[in-house]
Amino acid sequence: MDPISPLLLLPRPRPSLPLRLAPPPPRASAGVARTRLRRRRLSTTTTTVSAVAAETAPADSPSPSPSDEERFDWLDQWYPIAPVCDLDPRAPHGKTVLGLRIVAWFDRTVSGDAAAGDGEWRVFDDACPHRLAPLSEGRVDDKGRLQCVYHGWCFDGRGACQFIPQAPALGPPVHKNSKACVASYPCVVQNNILWFYPRSEPEYSDVLQRKRPPYIPQIDDPSFVTVYGVRDLYYGYDVLVENLMDPAHVPYAHKGLMLEFDKEGGGPIKMQIEDANVDGFMSVQERGYFKFVAPCTFYGSPLRTEAEADEGKKKKQPTVMLVFLCIPVSPGRSRLVWAFPRNVGVWMDKIIPRWYYHIGQNAILDSDIYLLHIEERNFVAAGLDNWQKACYVPTSSDNMIITFRNWFRKYCKHQIGWAAPIANQLPATPTKDQLMERYWSHCTSCRAALKGLRALEVALQVASVAIVGFLAAAKGNTVVTSTARRATIVAVAVLFFAASRWLTNYIEKAFYFQDFVLAEQ
């Protein structure tokens, strides 16, 4: 279990539920680099999967008070893709963000020295303009171009087509046609995380000069170490944000994983909401603070105020930060990227591998994933306009949740501004092992550890069989005829086999699936 877990405030069937569809909004015009079949980006929202925010809140949880015209623009925001340590620069990586299928890849040619390994990350539409095959299934070729593996079309870092194998060398330059280009999005690496801006029109190419992603200075402070992680989840964006803002659930939903409490281990939690507006809000608590920077970033410290955290950065006082990036993927799906910078226990990162931290963090996420999955469907069944009536939230520990629901209602009309048309219903509930399966969210460190543990598992099994075979072959050998020696060798064989079986069970629980029955915790 990682040292951050005691501080973690993280975030478990019935058929698909239809949702009410808002009137179709006007769509943004397409850029010149788009193909005839390119998806056009929506300037406002199309569907919703979220419950309505509370109409009222306790006195110490003020609601945002926008003008009637003020509206949150989901497409004028930066969205995280993944920590760069989990992105292999030798291959493209497909992701879905805000309903938009994108591919991130590393352009080595931007520096002019591909052999030096210098370059920049690029983010494109995940569709080849030829036949719309996914570019994320392609490769980065030996010239540093993104190549579609369906027919070999190659693209440079600007999205321009550089080569069409099927076009005659002396024929017309069809690869220079604007229809052969792929849409490219502004992107930037900040805090060691790759972000992108979901507009590909030329007028947004310099958006970084106007607006940047939220910045966490502690992550880049050399006196801090940061543990990163990513997990795809089978519940929506608003449920994920709401769960992270709920410290009261920790003693119960994560019982036995973080801190041991009896069934009455909870208590009142005082929090005061400040600076609530279209850009988010701040929650000042008894021993800490948290900030919500709309739409993705939720960060703070459960142990010290914002001023103390800034002072700690200057004077190297012990500081632990929790940074959560909540990404809307599609209806009923979200992605959590976390970063935990700290300047205490720095030495632990030198001896504890990254994948071992992730085991504990995944266990925490798994322990309430089924609760949240069903909760989201209950929200929809109760009616998208009835969150306040359906949910009874009388205590101050719910202040952040109420303020978020008010923000979501007043500035977003309970809707996520998807960047592409999306079916207006939640996906069918998968089986519990599929719901809690974590393999596809593993980082590079976890995958390397899994490969090594699998090899160790096989080695232990082979060793136990080899020892038994050796005993059988050496039946007449006086060296092993001693009863004591034979018993020792047999014991070693049994120990190796038992260790391999234990390792099999450990690998299944740590890297694939572990069921949680909270009533038994």
Condensed to tens digits (0 to 9), the pLDDT of residues 189-206 reads 999 999 999 999 999 999
Q: Say which range, 81-90, 140-149, 306-315, 509-518, has the weakest mean pLDDT.
A: 306-315
> What amino acid occupies position 99?
G
Q: Which two tokens stand for residue 402?
A: 């109420």
Of residues 470 and 262, more confidence is placed in 470
323 contacts: CB under 8 Å, gap ≥ 6: 216, 219, 297, 298, 299, 338, 339, 340, 341
Of residues 235 and 260, more confidence is placed in 235
Q: What is the pLDDT of residues 115-163, one digit of tens each?
A: 455 789 999 999 999 999 999 999 999 999 999 999 999 999 999 999 9
Instruction: Report the C-alpha gap between 331 and 418 in whole angstroms.
Output: 9
Average per-residue pLDDT for the chain: 79
DSSP string, 80-93: EEEEGGGS-TTS-E
- Note the pLDDT of residue 130: 95
Q: Which two tokens stand for residue 165?
A: 């194998």
Q: Say which range, 89-98, 130-139, 259-268, 387-396, has the weakest mean pLDDT.
A: 259-268
Average pLDDT over residues 22-50: 36
Instruction: Report the C-alpha gap between 400 and 284 in whole angstroms.
Output: 10
What's the per-residue H, E or C state across 204-267? HCCHHHCCCCCCCHHHHCCCCEEEEEEEEECCCHHHHHHHHCCHHHHHHHCCCCCCCCCCCCCC
Number of continuous H segments (helices) and E segments (strands) in the chain? 10, 18
pTM for the complete prediction? 0.79
Q: Taking the CA of residue 340 as centre, how many other CA atoms within 13 Å lie in the half-sphere pointing to its CB?
A: 23
Q: What percent of the chain has pLDDT over 70?
A: 76
- Note the pLDDT of residue 249: 73
Question: String of b and e for 467-485 (b: at least 16 CB within 10 Å)?
Answer: bbeebeeeeeeeeeeeeee
Q: Which two tokens stand for residue 471?
A: 């005993």
Q: What is the pLDDT of residues 209-218, one digit of tens each?
A: 999 999 999 9
- Note the pLDDT of residue 52: 34
> Mean pLDDT highest for which of 132-136, 176-180, 406-410?
132-136
The SS3 assignment for 424 reads coil
Average pLDDT over residues 460-482: 74
pLDDT at residue 262 greater than cutoff 80: no
CA angle 478, 481, 483 (to 5 degrees): 150
